[in-house]
């Protein structure tokens, strides 16, 4: 079946540190892959997406590359800011089925 | 414009009350969704409407009743809820059935 696994949190970083949040998926066929971000007290915001192998999604300094060979879609940012503190969800859409990972809480300290 | 609006932002209700949550989008999206999100958990799909027809019902209890009056509006009618139904209720919409855009949610507390 379809599933998403992302790294356990919480993750705490200092401002300007490099961020990686790992995400792997299992799916039959070729899913679309997403990263959503949820700030405290808010809904989910689409951060970036990729729809086929080797696509790179990017937005606001965040990047993720669709790796079919490793079934991964890791989120990276070169220099995090305090304002990036939030919960990040990896997700896949495949055959009318949207699956979310458990979420990773990121805290960035000044 | 990728805005999905939800009202109310907060709702407190007793177990005997009847209330409704409202969701609206004006992006011409053909699918709309209700999700339930408990604290520190990912969203769980409750209902999907595609072209104003209920296409997936994830075996949600009948005390939750969805309604899609037109392609821009989605309601969730609530009746005889339990305290464990307290959660953040999220609405989403999608044009191409994979990329979903979420509203800010309604924080529901059942006393």
Q: Tens digits of per-residue pLDDT, A4-30?
A: 999 888 999 999 999 999 999 999 888
Does residue B59 have a pLDDT over 90? Answer: no
Mean predicted confidence (pLDDT) in B28-42: 94
* CA distances (Å), origin B98, targets A27, B19, B30, B86, B89: 15, 30, 11, 28, 20
Cross-chain Cβ contact A103/B97 below 8 Å: no
* Residue A44 contacts B where some CB pair is shorter than 8 Å: yes
Mean predicted confidence (pLDDT) in B18-47: 94
Mean predicted confidence (pLDDT) in A45-62: 96
Cross-chain Cβ contact B99/A46 below 8 Å: yes
DSSP tag of A15: T
What are the phi and psi torsion angles at B28 (to 5°)?
Answer: 75, 20
The pLDDT, as a whole number, for residue B55 is: 83
Cross-chain Cβ contact B103/A98 below 8 Å: no
Distance of residue B60 Cα from the nearest chain A Cα, in angstroms: 16
Does residue B87 have a pLDDT over 70? Answer: yes
Picking from B41, B43, B45, the nearest residue to A44 by CB comes out as B43
Residues of B in contact with A43 (CB under 8 A): 4, 6, 88, 90, 102-105
Q: Which of B2, B3, B35, B98 to mutate to test the interface with A (most CBs of A within 10 A)?
A: B98
**Between A27 and B55, whose confidence is greater?**
A27
Residues of B in contact with A93 (CB under 8 A): 97-100
Does residue B39 have a pLDDT over 80? Answer: yes
Window 9-28 of A: residues touching B by CB (8 A cutoff) are none
* % chain A with pLDDT above 70: 100
When pLDDT is cut at 50, 70 and 90, the band that residue B1 belongs to is low
């Amino acid at each position: 079946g379809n599933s998403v696994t992302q790294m356990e949190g919480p993750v705490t970083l200092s401002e300007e540190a490099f961020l990686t949040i790992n995400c792997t998926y299992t799916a039959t066929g070729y899913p679309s892959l997403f990263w959503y971000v949820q700030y405290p007290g808010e809904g989910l915001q689409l951060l970036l997406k990729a729809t086929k192998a080797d696509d790179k999604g990017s937005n606001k300094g965040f990047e993720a590359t669709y790796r079919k060979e490793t079934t991964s879609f890791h989120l990276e940012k070169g220099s995090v800011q305090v304002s990036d503190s939030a919960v990040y969800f990896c997700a896949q859409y495949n055959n009318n089925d949207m699956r979310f990972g458990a979420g990773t809480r990121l805290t960035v300290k000044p | 414009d990728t805005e999905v609006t939800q009202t109310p932002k907060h709702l407190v209700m007793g177990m005997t009350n009847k209330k409704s949550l409202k969701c609206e989008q004006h992006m011409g999206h053909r699918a709309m969704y209700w999700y339930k999100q408990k604290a520190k958990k990912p969203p769980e799909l409750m209902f999907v409407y595609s072209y104003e027809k209920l296409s997936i019902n994830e075996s949600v209890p009948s005390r939750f009743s969805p309604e899609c009056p037109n392609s821009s509006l989605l309601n969730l009618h609530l009746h005889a809820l339990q305290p464990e139904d307290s959660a953040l209720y999220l609405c989403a919409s999608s044009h191409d059935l994979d990329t979903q855009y979420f509203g800010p949610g309604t924080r529901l507390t059942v006393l």
